[in-house]
Structure 1
Amino acid sequence: MDMLRGVAICLVVMYHCTVYMYEKYPDAFAGLKYASELVGPLRMPVLFFLSGMLLAGSIKKGPKRYALGKINNLVYPFVVWTLVLYLLYEVREIALGLPSEIELFTALVYDPWHHLWFLHYLSVYYILGYFLFKAGFVVAALVAVSLYAVGYPTGHGYFTALFMFFVAGAFANRSSNLARWIDAHEAQVVCAGLLVIALCMTGVIVGLLPMAKHNLTYCIVAAAGLPILISLTKRAEHCRIAPALAYLGRNSLVLYMVHVPVGIAIPLLIERTEWNPVLVYPAYLAVVFTACLGVVWLRQRSKSVDLMFSAEQLYPRRHKDKLARPAEPDV
């Protein structure tokens, strides 16, 4: 599933970069922003589904290692990057006179800034998931759906919708070899998924179904698209680009954390020039991805850089044991 994670994280990076350019050049990037929003169901629902698939393996390590793992690899980088971004915005305020947008206490405690909500949500999901996974599929599904039914009308649709995908991933990985099952029923799964998506979109076009971020229609489309994406990535495993996407997937945490400050900074520089923003956009994406991959390279060679993403280095013995085992995605 590393390749699918790589596809999803690339879509996230490209979407955020498009939004940052749209904020500076709304007329030039309105169409591209709209196109990016159309593939929204292929981004965060997929990432949370894949994160849920790691739940069973984490629970098997025992409660102590489970808790430490989530503190080291979710809570710790959340705190570190909140502080990093707070300092960067303070520097921006001094250098450019632009007001800082981060309230440090609220960002750390209950209102994470910008993209850091991902780690915040995952931390909560892994707490809930630990108990719900042991309670079984029926209980977990009822709790997840009930939370969504209550949460969406009250303004918590984002949190509760993505939790359903997290729970779905957890039990899909436990109950069977998902990829193998999809291989065995590929034609039926793909046709059913396409039919559901077509019916939903037809309903939206004729005005019978509402379509908004993380409403029921959105969730159904995302759920129907998941097995199709898994099937497509399985078929693409032998393509030349497959190893690169899998590499990005294994380092998704670094890409997710780093692309935002780099992506925000570059448009501030571009708007001070007379360059055509549309023509510069491909180079902008290339610089953002290059910066992210540079940090990945540094993380593999520097303890200091690694400490920006995980607290495992603070426990040398545990870190050594981790290196002896096959690598797993960060989130």
Structure 2
Amino acid sequence: MLRTYRVDGEAAISTTPGPRIGWLDSLRGVAILLVVVLHAGESLRVAGGSTAGIDGLNLFLEPFRMPVLMFLSGILLPRSVAKPWREYLAGKVSLVAWPYLLWSLIILAASGDLSPGGVAQIFYLAPTYLWYLWFILAFYALAYPLRRISPLVASGAGLVASLVLPDGSRPETMVFLAAFFFLGAWCAVHPRLLERAPANPWLLGAGAASAVAVGVFNVLDRNVLYRTEYAWGVLGGLVVVCWLFPRLGSTWATGALEFVGRYSIVFYVAHLGPIMITLALADGLGLAGEWFVFPLLLLGGVGVPLGLAWMYSTREHASVNLLFELPALKSRPRERAKASAGRGPERGFSPGA
């Protein structure tokens, strides 16, 4: 029996029978909330606030956040590239390029850098924290011409290229993350591997140990980030989360995480502004060093996007919809939009840190 499951609003194909797989959305939800934690901690540290423990957590998780999000985005790829090229292009422009361009302009304007040079960098450098979307656009542009090639070949090529490019450079980061994007695509066409391999106790144990080792190495400043030499630890982390999240069951907590995961675009583009505004108010009041500032930053960084995501999910607020997609390229009957309200709009990416 052919099953479709929705991940970030778009369907991926699984050949095994069973219910809709929500754990992929839950995992994405956790990852995007960790992005909020990262930026809240970094902002507070820059302002001179206390970040004891927060920096250690962020450093431990740093090697995994982006590769996991890229892996989840790659799972969407096989279904996506099966579309006619016009529909494929329209979807990526509407749901990835448009929010990237719009929110890049918003961020540059808010930071006072809306100069011609700054605007030009949007197209070739990604000058804001939205560089993840810029990467995703590049991967999608590459994926369609290569759709007849095994994604595993593209993944391996990315890891090899990462070995020869300068450490810490933008190109090295890009090809390293491309490897996990295409690995996700390969797993999407081999769903039994994705479901059964993590259940092997030996593989699970080795994965957990390797993930912990790489996380600790990063805390100890061993320069492991986005380096192929330490990809084994990232793969171990993927094994662990692919074992854990399907076993969490259906609860109010996993339901909430699924919602965050389905509307990850909203949380990604809209979380930093509320964090910075909250921090500026606390700093102006001389409270930046107080213990309760970090929870307040998280409240703003999650609460504001949550409200926007809820409005977006209803499909009833055209101005809010326009913040996250270009409707002219994604026209569809109103009935279909209503039917999709509980699952999220059709989107083809997942943001990250």
Partner of 1:40: 62
Q: Does 1:287 align with 2:322?
A: no
Q: In structure 2, how many angstroms separate the alpha carbons of the residues matched to 1:65 and 1:219?
A: 34
Alignment-mate amino acid for residue 213 of structure 1:
L
Q: Does 1:245 align with 2:261?
A: no
Distance change >3 Å, CA 273–CA 200, structure 1 → 2: closer
Partner of residue 91 from structure 2, selected from 64, 69, 72: 69
Number of residue pairs matched by the alignment: 318
Show the 5 A alignment for 1:122-271: 122-137=136-151, 139-153=153-167, 155=169, 156-182=171-197, 185-197=199-211, 204=217, 210-271=222-283
Q: In structure 2, how many angstroms separate the alpha carbons of the residues matched to 1:329 and 1:178?
A: 25
Partner of 1:94: none
The structure with the largest helix share of the pair is 1
Q: In structure 2, how many angstroms separate the alpha carbons of the residues matched to 1:115 and 1:319?
A: 34
Partner of residue 324 from structure 2, selected from 285, 309, 314: 309
Q: Does 1:78 align with 2:78?
A: no
Contact in 1 for aligned 2:224/2:230 (Cα 8 Å):
yes
Alignment-mate amino acid for residue 34 of structure 1:
G
Deviation per residue, 1:22-41 (Å, 9 max, x gap): 10015x21542232111113
- CA drift of 1:106 comes to 3.1
TM-score, length basis structure 1? 0.86
Partner of residue 272 from structure 1, selected from 284, 300, 304: 284
- CA drift of 1:244 comes to 0.5
Alignment-mate amino acid for residue 317 of structure 2:
S
Contact in 2 for aligned 1:306/1:313 (Cα 8 Å):
no
Partner of residue 110 from structure 1, selected from 124, 132, 136: 124
- The answer for unaligned runs of 5 or more in structure 1 is 91-98
- CA drift of 1:128 comes to 1.3
Partner of 1:50: 72
Contact in 1 for aligned 2:167/2:227 (Cα 8 Å):
no
- CA drift of 1:74 comes to 0.8
- The answer for unaligned runs of 5 or more in structure 2 is 1-23
Alignment-mate amino acid for residue 43 of structure 2:
Y
Alignment-mate amino acid for residue 184 of structure 2:
G
- CA drift of 1:329 comes to 5.1
Q: In structure 1, how many angstroms separate the alpha carbons of the residues matched to 2:138 and 2:256?
A: 31
Q: In structure 1, how many angstroms separate the alpha carbons of the residues matched to 2:322 and 2:215?
A: 45
Q: In structure 1, how many angstroms separate the alpha carbons of the residues matched to 2:296 and 2:166?
A: 39
Alignment-mate amino acid for residue 8 of structure 1:
A
Alignment-mate amino acid for residue 140 of structure 1:
A
Which is further off, 320-329 or 51-60? Answer: 320-329
Distance change >3 Å, CA 197–CA 290, structure 1 → 2: closer
- CA drift of 1:19 comes to 0.4
Identity of aligned residues (%): 25
Q: How large is the Cα RMSD of the aligned pairs?
A: 2.8
Contact in 2 for aligned 1:152/1:160 (Cα 8 Å):
no
- CA drift of 1:195 comes to 3.5
Q: In structure 2, how many angstroms separate the alpha carbons of the residues matched to 1:297 and 1:114?
A: 25
Q: Does 1:11 align with 2:34?
A: yes
- CA drift of 1:178 comes to 4.6
Q: In structure 1, how many angstroms separate the alpha carbons of the residues matched to 2:338 and 2:328?
A: 11
Q: In structure 2, how many angstroms separate the alpha carbons of the residues matched to 1:101 and 1:88?
A: 12
